[in-house]
Amino acid sequence: MKKKAEAYASLRKPFLVNELEPQYLLHDWRKVYECLAMFGIPVPRYGCVHREVPFWHLDYFVEEVNFVEVMGTAFGNLVEKPTVDGWEDQSLICFYVADATPLYLHEVVISHYTKYQKPQNSSMAYLFDLKKHNQMNNEETYQVAIVIVPYLEQGHLNPLLNLSRILSSYKLPVFFLGTSTSNRQAKFRLSDWDILDFPTIRFHDLAPVPPDSCSSVSAAVMEKIGSFFTSILLLREPIWEFLQEVSSTYRRTVVINDSGMSWVVQDAVSIPNTECYCFHTISVFTALSFACETTKKLLPSPVAEIIAELPPRENTFDSETIEYIKMQRESRNFYSVGLHNSCKEIEGVFIDLLEEQRENKQWAIGPLNPVKISKKKSSEQTHECFSWLDKQDLNSVIYVSFGSTTTLSKEQINELAFGLEQSEQKFIWVLRGADKKGEDNIENVERGSNFDLPEGFEERIKDKGLGL
């Protein structure tokens, strides 16, 4: 019926009250819940199980007589019920709690099988007979879990979410920790891959403890670092509780935290079966300049001369940020390895020097920014940025962007526009407003078209510059 309706609409072009194509979203409960959660709409407690073949062993799924467990979350008293399409689609099966109805769901397990036909005499026990499968493959469950703790800004969320994708591709359970706002932002701004294709990635929303009940952060510290940084420090206890729970379930827990979250994960070192890695989103060169400023160790020429010309940290950050960075630096003594969103081909020299400065291993595991470039030359499928870049000479274009935490004033925009125009340098300039800290305004960000550029600027630079 649905295909007939689409064919009729394509042929007759009637007035449509609702678009037809989005209806397919309702055919997959995973996408329905993901969409609802993205926009802050409450969803029932649920788990997703995805296999490419029947009875495929999954570390994150366990079936017992009276319940099933998905990523450490137990679901009991389940009964099998039809999906949205009845049993026409035999690859998607839902199990609701026995006393729930589709309109008043309390919890649900969604089991998805690719290219698999449900047998005639199916039952939950048969479909989820993992014990037999584990014995056949001589495998153990609950081996290793990865816990990702990103700093709560977009430039930090994205690399660690892309790292989570890589780890998930090895069928490892990955827990991505953040606030409800930061997790929703990370998913909303995801590009070039679908989070539903990596079912072992689970987002865990943390709630900061009330300031007056937090014993680890004094009032004096809160005053020094301001409200936003304080809200991050108040995540220490929830993170500690989560790590205790995970470490009691898995044989080994690996924590990968952003360098800006070192203070809130420092308690992990006391858990015997847990190891920690510190991830840096800044360039290795920048990390090296910060390290030598702290250690005072000498650097070889010409690196020493280049770094000596950089402004001191006090001239780069405000007092609140400097105090917060100091707290993170003092909490990193327990790390044996530093991870970097870079590669040796680009920053190999600086990686070696950083190891000497910090006296521990530094691994370049990047770049962690996947870009999907279509091989199709259709102008409809190619962004104007790529079309314009294809016409430029190699290494002839500079990229100008101040990230998601900076809003330029009108005077700054005019000065930067004047400098780019006078430089005669070809460029791509991303102009946008900053994310408002702590606010749930993911979609409402000012873009370049909303800023007042100098009169006639875009016309004068159209052949050598591109503004986004």
Find the CATH number of the domain harbouring 463: 3.40.50.2000
- Do residues 111 and 127 make contact, with C-beta atoms less than 8 angstroms apart? yes
- Residues 208 and 173 placed together within one structural domain of the fold: yes
Q: Name the average pLDDT for the chain.
A: 78
**More confident of the two residues 282 and 45:** 282
- Residues 358 and 420 placed together within one structural domain of the fold: no
Tell me the range of 30-34, 369-373, 420-424 where mean pLDDT is highest. Answer: 420-424
**More confident of the two residues 362 and 385:** 362
Among 137, 166, 189, where does a domain finish?
Answer: 137
Res 173: pLDDT: 92
Type of residue found at 288:
L
Q: CA 95, 100, 104: angle at the middle one, nearest 5?
A: 115
Lowest-pLDDT choice from 21-30, 153-162, 320-329, 367-376 = 367-376
In 3D, which of 229, 236, 242 has the Cα closest to residue 202? 242
Q: What is the pLDDT of residues 148-184, one digit of tens each?
A: 999 998 889 999 999 999 999 888 999 999 999 999 9
pLDDT at 230 exceeding the cut of 80: yes
- Residues 310 and 178 placed together within one structural domain of the fold: yes
Name the strands in the sheet holding 252-258, side by side, starting at the edge strand that comes first in the sequence. 201-205, 174-178, 144-149, 252-258, 274-280, 337-340, 361-364
- Residues 318 and 223 placed together within one structural domain of the fold: yes
Q: What is the mean pLDDT of residues 389-413?
A: 85
Q: What is the mean pLDDT of residues 331-340?
A: 88
Res 90: pLDDT: 41
Q: What is the pLDDT of residues 184-214, one digit of tens each?
A: 988 888 877 888 888 899 999 998 888 888 8
Res 249: pLDDT: 87
Among 137, 171, 190, where does a domain finish?
Answer: 137
Establish if 374 belongs to a structural domain.
no
Q: What is the mean pLDDT of residues 117-129?
A: 33
Among 137, 165, 192, where does a domain finish?
Answer: 137
- Residues 254 and 280 placed together within one structural domain of the fold: yes
- Do residues 297 and 357 make contact, with C-beta atoms less than 8 angstroms apart? yes
Establish if 425 belongs to a structural domain.
yes
- Residues 197 and 312 placed together within one structural domain of the fold: yes
Domain that holds residue 19: 2-137
Res 13: pLDDT: 79
- Is residue 50 annotated as a catalytic residue, yes or no? no
Res 284: pLDDT: 96
* % of the chain surpassing 90 pLDDT: 37
Establish if 375 belongs to a structural domain.
no
pLDDT band at 259 (very low <50, low <70, confident <90, very high): very high
Lowest-pLDDT choice from 114-128, 141-155, 163-177, 240-254 = 114-128
Establish if 151 belongs to a structural domain.
yes
pLDDT at 25 exceeding the cut of 80: no
- Is residue 156 annotated as a catalytic residue, yes or no? yes
Single out the catalytic residue among 156, 280, 340, 435.
156
pLDDT band at 52 (very low <50, low <70, confident <90, very high): low
- Residues 47 and 86 placed together within one structural domain of the fold: yes
Establish if 371 belongs to a structural domain.
no
Res 2: pLDDT: 63
Single out the catalytic residue among 258, 280, 340, 435.
258
Res 110: pLDDT: 56
Establish if 328 belongs to a structural domain.
yes
Res 395: pLDDT: 87
pLDDT band at 437 (very low <50, low <70, confident <90, very high): low
- Residues 101 and 129 placed together within one structural domain of the fold: yes
pLDDT at 55 exceeding the cut of 70: no
Establish if 456 belongs to a structural domain.
yes
Q: What is the mean pLDDT of residues 380-398?
A: 81
Establish if 428 belongs to a structural domain.
yes
- Do residues 152 and 182 make contact, with C-beta atoms less than 8 angstroms apart? yes
pLDDT at 141 exceeding the cut of 80: no
- Residues 433 and 309 placed together within one structural domain of the fold: no
- Residues 37 and 169 placed together within one structural domain of the fold: no
pLDDT band at 109 (very low <50, low <70, confident <90, very high): low
pLDDT at 114 exceeding the cut of 60: no
- Residues 6 and 152 placed together within one structural domain of the fold: no
- Residues 191 and 267 placed together within one structural domain of the fold: yes
- Do residues 179 and 96 make contact, with C-beta atoms less than 8 angstroms apart? no
pLDDT at 132 exceeding the cut of 90: no
- Count: domains in the chain: 3
- Do residues 156 and 260 make contact, with C-beta atoms less than 8 angstroms apart? yes
In 3D, which of 268, 466, 282 has the Cα closest to residue 367? 282
Partners of 46 in beta bridges: 108
